[in-house]
């Protein structure tokens, strides 16, 4: 149908499945530009620990939302949504195709889905953080369970930052935190390609990735970032948090490497759970030698769906899926 923009392509799924490579392949085939959706790759200097593609490995494909934050800053999903959507609009204005690549589920949803962000109130947040420090995170999690049981189930009792944010939103809006979570309704027409593979294979990939990061200088990179003043968000990133513990003398090298492997595997499973709940994701086997062609087939099917009269609304609600 004339005048209908082709859907944004998003490559999602667990870490270490090859999303960056597939994103580049699709961008080259579709005349696209990549928009990063990995929260930690937003940070300048966090390269080795996030497996960020170097400029030389980007094959000349323009990349956006990389290296836009200093490590002293806290990442903001609301800011990412605002700036990332501007990138999508700019890419479309150039007649190019946006290819979103990343495994940070909330960032992908914020970029593509109908999602609104309640404001923040430093006084409220400061008071909640003080209570967490004084009485423990479990105390706040129990309060969240009373006010919004669904949110408490979704947010682990050790995740202080998200618990504080949930309670802040509840206090500011008078609504459950879950009422402000994204709907599975596309604000930006898109097709999501999910990469996954056998758990044992993924675990082995994770272990090899950690070995490479260590050899490439993850410890030295972390020391350099520490000297620049790492903020809370950057310091909690998988890989960096474990190295920082070693720098403080809390663990030795062997234990640190094992901890990074374990944390990365847990992250991969959390990512799979997040994206696995979305029926709109078209899942592909990361080991399939024809994965690029299969992804292009999914994109073509999504384009046909978007162009069909009256089909766009159904697709955006997740009623029409490409498979799972």
The token duo for 281 is: 């994701």
Q: Does 18 count as an annotated binding residue?
A: yes
Dist CA 115 CA 215 (whole Å): 40
Dist CA 265 CA 14 (whole Å): 9
Residue 73: CB atoms within 10 Å: 17
**Rg of the chain's alpha carbons, rounded to an integer?**
20
DSSP state of 52: P
Q: Does 264 count as an annotated binding residue?
A: no
Closest CA to 193 of 69, 44, 66, 8: 8
Residues linked to residue 181 through DSSP beta bridges, in sequence order: none
Q: Does 321 count as an annotated binding residue?
A: no
Dist CA 85 CA 249 (whole Å): 42
Q: Does 16 count as an annotated binding residue?
A: yes
Q: Residues near 165 by Cβ (< 8 Å), separated by ≥ 6?
A: 125, 177
The token duo for 251 is: 């663990």
Tell me whether residue 258 is exposed, middle or buried, using C-beta atoms within 10 angstroms of its C-beta: 0 to 12, 13 to 18, 19 or more: middle
Q: Does 273 count as an annotated binding residue?
A: no
Q: Does 19 count as an annotated binding residue?
A: yes
The token duo for 212 is: 């490479």
DSSP state of 276: H
Closest CA to 170 of 192, 131, 144: 144
Q: Does 20 count as an annotated binding residue?
A: yes
Residue with token string 């930690």: 40
3-state secondary structure of 22: helix
Q: Which residues are annotated as a binding site for substrate?
A: 15-20
Q: Which residues are annotated as a binding site for ATP?
A: 13-20
Q: Which residues are annotated as a binding site?
A: 13-20
């Amino acid at each position: 149908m004339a005048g209908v923009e082709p859907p944004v392509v998003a490559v999602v799924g667990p870490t270490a499945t090859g999303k960056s490579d597939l994103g580049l392949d699709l961008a080259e085939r579709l005349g696209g530009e990549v928009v990063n959706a990995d929260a930690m790759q937003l940070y300048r200097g966090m390269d080795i620990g996030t497996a960020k593609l170097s400029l030389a490995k980007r094959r000349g494909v323009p990349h956006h939302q990389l290296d836009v934050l200093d490590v002293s800053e806290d990442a903001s999903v609301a800011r990412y949504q605002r700036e990332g959507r501007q990138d999508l609009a700019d890419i479309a204005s150039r007649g190019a195709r946006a290819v979103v690549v990343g495994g940070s589920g909330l960032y992908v949803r914020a970029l593509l889905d109908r999602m609104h962000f309640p404001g923040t109130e430093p006084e409220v947040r400061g008071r909640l953080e003080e209570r967490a420090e004084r009485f423990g995170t479990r105390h706040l999690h129990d309060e969240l369970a009373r006010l919004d049981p669904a949110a408490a189930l979704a947010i682990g009792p050790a995740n202080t930052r998200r618990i504080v944010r949930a309670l802040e939103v509840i206090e500011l809006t008078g609504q459950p935190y879950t009422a402000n979570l994204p709907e599975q309704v596309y604000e930006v027409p898109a097709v999501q390609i999910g990469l996954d593979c056998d758990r044992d294979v993924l675990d082995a990939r994770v272990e090899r990735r950690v070995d490479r990061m260590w050899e490439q200088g993850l410890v030295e990179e972390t020391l350099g970032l520490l000297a620049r003043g790492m903020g809370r968000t950057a310091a909690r990133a998988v890989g960096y948090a474990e190295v920082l513990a070693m720098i403080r003398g809390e663990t030795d090298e062997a234990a640190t490497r094992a901890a990074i492997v374990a944390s990365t595997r847990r992250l991969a499973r959390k990512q799979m759970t997040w994206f696995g709940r979305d029926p709109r994701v078209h899942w592909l086997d990361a080991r399939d030698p024809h994965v690029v062609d299969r992804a292009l087939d999914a994109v073509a099917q999504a384009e046909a769906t978007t162009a069909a009269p009256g089909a766009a609304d159904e697709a955006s609600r997740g009623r029409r899926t490409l498979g799972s």
